[in-house]
Structure 1
């Protein structure tokens, strides 16, 4: 398939190597990646708006090497919006980087054409304090997302006692996340999440761990509260993941969480997520 010049909104961009297979086991091509992101854009873009995006690119597909890209690519079109932000403690010694903001379909298609399969964002919007509290539930084998669901239900109870609503989504990989909308500046999200994670680890020591040491995670669910540090990012809702199949970080209902008995119950591919959105809309519409 030859390269294509396409008009997206008011912008023109070149799409390249459309026939390249990025998910070999599924035969899922770059053209299908771009198509997925274009079709899911109406529910994805609101979750990216105002948030600097870290891209995880897989130029040779999910079986090849990948790299995280925070700084905008040198060949980016001039219409791609960027924001220069401080990056203290950067491993490359950069004090500032120019992050991409994905707020329109043209920019989303452009990053998809870069084989940026995964889109990662912080819990804050530019110029503001965090508006999300996030708990990343990471199962240590042989635990799976099934065990994460039980921990998510415990977290929901604790959060409700504090007056907060929680919204679940899968990670698209092994675990899941809970999103808790908060007013910017309302609370110290890092301290609050750490305290709640440690409290649950004490209450359920056989099922939950709140420490970073991987040696302690076997068969338990690690509640990663560190996702609430300002420099940390979490996989965006509706982002693809670089797994053997084109799975997606998918918003789910609490009923689905309560009824989950098998990993397959909360595993969704790109086509399945598109169908879910057509049927149920954005299940993470807490705005």
Structure 2
């Protein structure tokens, strides 16, 4: 049911994606993120939280230095670097070997973060923002999580078709820069320029939304990022801190519909739920049978 992918990482073992869901722990080192802004923006707090997420089973740590919530202030390059680089340095100095993802749309931030020890780029503009981002990924041989965020899309056109055309452009930019096709992971961008109904339609049609029109039967690794988002809050009339149950539901459904990597704030609860979902679809581990 799940497509399989091997994502090469520089100086680390590759990511093997398939039946086993990977959990990416969110480490926002920002003062204004919608859910946990200001909680981990000191290096010692960020390091403590990273340790906790890894102890709870996080496979990847995703570090972000700028909030992308609606209305958030833009962060200049140097300020973003001042936020993320000390945290990456601290994680590396701690001896943490889990892959580190840098959540940024700025090529210089990605470049410096990779040199500091990050090995995945998480680009909310899907390689269609700053054109140099794809070049940075190709230069260092790091994979890219490319998200759909099309602020100018024609909302009268079918959503899945529109998303596939967007990802076609992402794939073309990656190919132009020399990024191997198997180094791309696609993120449908839950909550980014989409209505409530559209978010749930994407969750239902996840594989189709992350395909690309020119890819034929080819499939891509899929990243699901619904954690604590407004698509859950609006439906349940719940603030961000009370959206865990809704997040778990979306991740289990996302897994059942082909998702591979799940970006979350609450690692243990989501990891447990995904293990149960995997056992349901594929059977429990052999040593427990």
Asked whether the two chains share a fold, i.e. TM above 0.5, the reply is no
Could you say which structure has the larger radius of gyration?
1
* Higher share of residues assigned strand: 1
